[in-house]
Structure 1
Amino acid sequence: MFTILRKEINSFLNSLIAYLIMVIFLTGIGLFIWVFPDSNVLDYGFADLSSLFGLAPYVFMFLIPAVTMRSFAEEKKGGTMELLLTRPLTDWDIILGKYLASFLLIVVTLLPTLIYYFSVYYLGSPQGNIDSAGVAGSYIGLLLLAAVFSAIGIFASSISENQIVSFIIAAFLCFVLFAGFSSLSSLTSGGELAYFVNQLGLDYHYQALSNGLIDSRNIIYFLSVIVVMLMATRLVLASRKW
């Protein structure tokens, strides 16, 4: 697994995609927090990072599939997939190595946003007038969301040798799982059915964590989706041996 992890990280660092992801994400989020009217902290008048945590999931829907689309698709197109499968590595070694490399890239991209937190913290009146528990919960939720999107992207890359097709499939699945269920619940007549449908989506559990509610049920939900997606990827790889 660590061999694949090192290989993927080196591949990211030797290409422009990793640096483009970081620049696009940090520039876009920074503009919304500090520059654009109606969303920047200075005009908003409240010491919070709602712009970051409200916008980041939708940015991740496109950036993370862009990172993961090459994971297996490039191996298949280049004819190196068969060579990789003949090495003394299990399917899980390959999957987890590629998955962790993609997720770590997103974590490194997210780390500089801590500067935004400390900036808002010191700009608050009085100083420190910010819901730190809510921010911590939002970061946990965002990391778990990135982990889920990375697993979805790895799965999408495993079912096609075309990177563009993998990107489209991953972006579509990320959108459906994040916003699809909440939209569907609004079409129901309300009541328990609407609440149940809403709970099936990523957005419900992400919002719960963003409110500072670190409930084990929300964390288990995210981990369950990750496991299902990685197991689906394993089935796709295993099908090549049939």
Structure 2
Amino acid sequence: MLAILKKEIRSFLNSLIAYIIMIIFLTGMGLFVWVFPDTNLLDYGFADLSILFYLAPYVYMFLIPAITMRTFAEEKKAGTLELLLTRPLSDWDIILGKYLASLLLIIFTLIPTLVYYYSVYTLGNPAGNIDSAGVFGSYIGLVLLGAVFTAIGIFASSISDNQITSFIVAAFLCFVLYAGFSSLTSLDALGEMAYFINQLGIDYHYKALSKGLIDSRNLIYFFSLIAFMLMATRLVLGSRKW
């Protein structure tokens, strides 16, 4: 697994994709948090980073599939996946190596946004007048959200040898699992089922973590979804033996 992890990280760093992803994410978030008139904190007047944690999941829906779309699709198209599978590596070594490399890139992209927290912390009146528990709960939620979206992206890349197809499938699944269930709750026909359906979506558990309360039920939800998507990827790769 470590060999695959190192290979994928080198591949990211030797291409422009890692740097482009970081620049797009940090520039976009910086503009929304500090510059754009309808969302910037300076005009808002409150020591609050909620705009960052509200917009980041929607940005992730496109950036993470852009990172993961090449993981298996490129290998399939180039014909190198078969060669990789013949090496003394298990399917799980390959999957986890590619998964962790993509996830590390996403976490590394998120780290510079801690500067926003420090800036808001010092600009508060008085200094430190910010809900730190809520902010760090939101960061934990954002990392777990990135982990789920990465697992979805890896799965989408494993089912196709076309990177564009993988990107579209991953983006669609991320949107449905994040916002689809909460959107369904607006239907009056669901009645008492609406609350249960809402709990099936990522949005519900992400917002729960954003309140600063790390509930084991939310953690179990995220880890279960990650495990399910990675097992689905393992099933796709294992289908070659059928």
Do the two structures share a fold, i.e. TM-score over 0.5?
yes
Identity over aligned residues, as a percent? 79
In structure 1, the residue matched to 2:166 is 166
- The alignment covers a number of residue pairs equal to 242
In structure 1, the residue matched to 2:109 is 109
In structure 2, the residue matched to 1:133 is 133
Rounded to whole Å, the distance in 2 between the matches of 1:4 and 1:150 is 16
Matches within 5 A, 1:27-42: 27-42=27-42
In structure 2, the residue matched to 1:97 is 97
Rounded to whole Å, the distance in 1 between the matches of 2:191 and 2:107 is 38
In structure 2, the residue matched to 1:180 is 180
TM-score, normalised to structure 1, is: 0.99
In structure 1, the residue matched to 2:151 is 151
Unaligned stretches of 5+ in structure 2?
none
Rounded to whole Å, the distance in 2 between the matches of 1:109 and 1:234 is 27
In structure 2, the residue matched to 1:72 is 72
* Corresponding letter in the other structure for 2:143: L
Unaligned stretches of 5+ in structure 1?
none
Rounded to whole Å, the distance in 2 between the matches of 1:118 and 1:189 is 46
Rounded to whole Å, the distance in 2 between the matches of 1:188 and 1:75 is 46
What SS does structure 2 have at the residue aligned with 1:37? coil
In structure 2, the residue matched to 1:200 is 200
User: Which portions of structure 1, spanning 4 or more consecutive aligned residues, are displaced by more than 2 angstroms?
Assistant: 188-192
Rounded to whole Å, the distance in 2 between the matches of 1:157 and 1:228 is 15
Rounded to whole Å, the distance in 1 between the matches of 2:45 and 2:192 is 37
Rounded to whole Å, the distance in 1 between the matches of 2:191 and 2:82 is 52
What SS does structure 2 have at the residue aligned with 1:240? helix
In structure 2, the residue matched to 1:16 is 16
> How much does 1:186 deviate?
1.2
TM-score, normalised to structure 2, is: 0.99
What SS does structure 1 have at the residue aligned with 2:161? coil
Rounded to whole Å, the distance in 2 between the matches of 1:101 and 1:188 is 43
> How much does 1:213 deviate?
1.7
Aligned residues: CA RMSD: 0.7
> How much does 1:38 deviate?
1.7
In structure 2, the residue matched to 1:239 is 239
Rounded to whole Å, the distance in 2 between the matches of 1:40 and 1:189 is 38
> How much does 1:188 deviate?
3.6
> How much does 1:190 deviate?
5.8
In structure 1, the residue matched to 2:50 is 50
* Corresponding letter in the other structure for 2:92: W
> How much does 1:191 deviate?
4.8
